[in-house]
Amino acid sequence: MKNKIVLLLICVLLACGCSNYRELDELAIITAIAIDKSGDEYELSFLIANSPKAQTSSKEGEATTTVFSGKGKTLTEAANSVDSKCPKTLYYGHINAAIISEEIAREGFLEIADWLLRSPETRKQFYLMQAKDTEAKDILKIVEPLEATPSQSISSLIESNINSQSITTTISYSPFIEKVLEKGYDPILPSISISGKVKKGSSETNLEKTEPAGYLKLDDTAIFREDKFVGYVGRTDSQSINILNDSVSEIKIDFKYDDNDVVFTSDNIKTTITNESFNHFKVKVKGSGFVSEVNGKIALEDPSVVKKLEKKLEATLDKQLNKTLDKLQNEYKSDVVGFGNRLYGTYPKRWDKIENQWNDEYYPKLKVEISSDLAIESSGSLNRTIEEVRS
């Protein structure tokens, strides 16, 4: 009797496994999506993992992914159009990146947010990015030698740049929506573009070249006002925004000292923002690091020289942060640092009276004092050149 029960359990488990396998084999697993506008219609593109055909093994040179696109007056209609072309059931549970076009971003992200939110299978932690100087669907087509799929390339690109340079930021769907809906905050998005030709970069032969004909690259940071895209800022401003938001892992700051180019590197930067009054904030940046590069001879072993370097470094960073903040306040009128949110928390009744005029009238006139306190703790003997070492 005992043996019969064990045998029955084994049969049940095997039957379940076979059933799940057949179900998985019938799914078109979406790993990334792109949303464009085509006239007055939405164009929705899905990057789908290309599983081996039934009863066969994958062929050499066979594409690992496929892009299906569909159009419609609504995103649901566009998705249904894709569904009618795809021989398998679309599965949204493994999306790790969503790319939106500039046109979609200018019209307002909330126009499409509802469709993404209501899909029951979709995890809301996928990366959200904006396509720059290209259609969003073309981003999904680029194949690169270092990653198996374009969606993995996008994820790796973001994560590596965050960890090494702090010139971009990790934005997933849920935090972006939170910033849009939160009082006194405006969101940002990293943008992504294509270097080279889309047609050549989307071919599998792109993997066979020592220098790819087309590849993805992180580009400028997209600045939003509420849920609408208003413009881009470059690498330096992007780094400044991350510093002001206290969201840097490692930074490199270039500055001049006696006509020499110096690079300061730090993974220990902390920013604090204090509210002095309703229209006055103080921003303090404190940290330490080392001189990672110097173009010329500087007596880095001399404490007095190091002190001068620190003063020059602090002045450089203060100027950089003030320049970025001035652009945000007066050119874009976008509060991506969340000064308004802090006022809302401290002066809720007063905030309610000026909330609708914050970005246009009050935010541009906000007084913000920025001060840096940076220590150079390790400099080594970089003043000894190769010629000195050899002599």
Distance separating alpha carbons of residues 369 and 373, to the nearest angstrom: 13
pLDDT > 90: what percent of the chain? 57
How much is the pLDDT for 211? Answer: 56
291 pLDDT more than 50: yes
Structure confidence by residue, pLDDT tens digits, 124-141: 778 899 999 999 999 998
Contact 332, 231 (CB under 8 A): yes
16 pLDDT more than 80: no
DSSP letter string over 121-189? T--TTSEEEEE-SS-HHHHTT---TTSSSHHHHHHHHHHHHHHHT-SS---BHHHHHHHHHSTT---EE
- Show the beta-strand stretches assigned E in 234-279: 251-257, 260-277
How much is the pLDDT for 80? Answer: 94
Provide mean pLDDT across the span 85-114: 91
C-alpha torsion angle, residues 337, 266, 146, 129 (rounded to 10): 0
288 pLDDT more than 80: yes
Give CA 110 to chain center in angstroms: 19
Distance separating alpha carbons of residues 217 and 108, to the nearest angstrom: 24
1-10, 89-98, 307-316 — most confident range? 307-316
Neighbours of 229 (CB within 10 A): 24
Provide mean pLDDT across the span 85-89: 87
Q: What phi and psi, each to the nearest 5 degrees, are found at residue 259? A: 65, 10
Structure confidence by residue, pLDDT tens digits, 227-239: 999 999 999 999 9
pLDDT confidence bin for 7, thresholds 50/70/90: very low
Q: Which residues are bridge partners to 66 per DSSP?
A: 48
Structure confidence by residue, pLDDT tens digits, 184-212: 999 999 999 998 765 444 445 444 445 56
Distances (CA, A) of 6 to 2, 11, 20, 92: 6, 9, 21, 37
375 pLDDT more than 80: yes
Q: Name the token pair of 34.
A: 């792109």
Q: What phi and psi, each to the nearest 5 degrees, are found at residue 350? A: -70, -35
163 pLDDT more than 60: no
Distance separating alpha carbons of residues 334 and 199, to the nearest angstrom: 36
Residues whose CB falls within 8 Å of the CB of residue 94, separated by 6 or more in sequence, listed in order: 29, 30, 31, 49
Q: Which residues are bridge partners to 29 per DSSP?
A: 91
Distances (CA, A) of 352 to 182, 184, 187, 341: 13, 11, 20, 11
How much is the pLDDT for 321? Answer: 98
Contact 263, 291 (CB under 8 A): yes
Question: What domains are defined for the chain?
Answer: 26-233 (no CATH), 235-391 (3.30.300.210)
Provide mean pLDDT across the span 336-346: 97
How much is the pLDDT for 65? Answer: 76
Q: What phi and psi, each to the nearest 5 degrees, are found at residue 173? A: -55, -55
Tell me the Cα Rg of the chain: 26
121 pLDDT more than 80: no
Distance separating alpha carbons of residues 205 and 118, to the nearest angstrom: 38
Lowest mean pLDDT among 27-41, 83-97, 129-143, 175-189: 83-97
Structure confidence by residue, pLDDT tens digits, 18-35: 444 446 678 888 989 999
DSSP letter at 51 equals: P
The residue among 121, 105, 116, 32 whose CA lies nearest residue 74 is 116
147 pLDDT more than 70: no
Structure confidence by residue, pLDDT tens digits, 298-324: 888 899 999 999 999 999 999 999 999
Distance separating alpha carbons of residues 319 and 173, to the nearest angstrom: 33
Query: Between 26 and 4, where is the model more confident?
Result: 26
Q: How many Å from the N-terminal Cα to the C-terminal Cα in the chain?
A: 89
How much is the pLDDT for 243? Answer: 95
Would you report the helix, strand and coil content of the chain in percent, each value rounded to 5? 40, 30, 30
How much is the pLDDT for 115? Answer: 85
1-15, 167-181, 265-279 — most confident range? 265-279
